[in-house]
Structure 1
Amino acid sequence: MNILFIEDDPMNRRVVKDMLDVAGATMAEAAWAEEGLARIDSETFDIVLVDLRMPGTDGFETIRQIRARTDAKAGLPIIVVTADTAGG
């Protein structure tokens, strides 16, 4: 399984990568939304993991942009991942 993780925090990316490595999945990383969207343009992924709280373009807008695509990649499965502990 080839997974893209769009997450601005390098420690969070590392923790998820370690877990996915154990499961035998391959994880590509993007440190911000624009990088992730560009990778979706040029690569093939089975699932996209998206952090909701990122500086600049947040996860909500990133998901909107993926869903607004006019190709098959608009239907990529997306899983929201967040380390937000503030509640709300």
Structure 2
Amino acid sequence: MTTMPPTVAGLPHVIHRSETELPFVNFMDGLAVQLLQVDIEAGLWVVRARFAPGLTLPRHKHTGEVFALTFSGSWKYLEYPEINTAGSYLFEPS
């Protein structure tokens, strides 16, 4: 029999939110984000982002690893030649 590992006191085993329960917030012109989960102590931010076509983000840094799944459209980092297209996955170490 498989048992679930103990959870942190006070935290539920599962967190479920409907897409419509969490609003998209304008972060900057051409970029809206939906905050899905945050753990400040662990440096974890889980967000869903919507980028306007043609948007160029200024150079920036992340506080931890990046796991990115592209649902539609395409995008790329200015520093790298690879283009991320719909269905692609990107991992960026911290």
TM beyond 0.5: no
Would you tell me which structure has more strand in proportion to its own residues? 2
Relative to the length of structure 2, the TM-score reads 0.31
Taking structure 1 as the reference length, what is the TM-score of the superposition? 0.32
Q: Per chain length, whose mean CA-contact separation is higher, i.e. which structure has more relative contact order (CA < 8 Å, sep 6+)?
A: 1
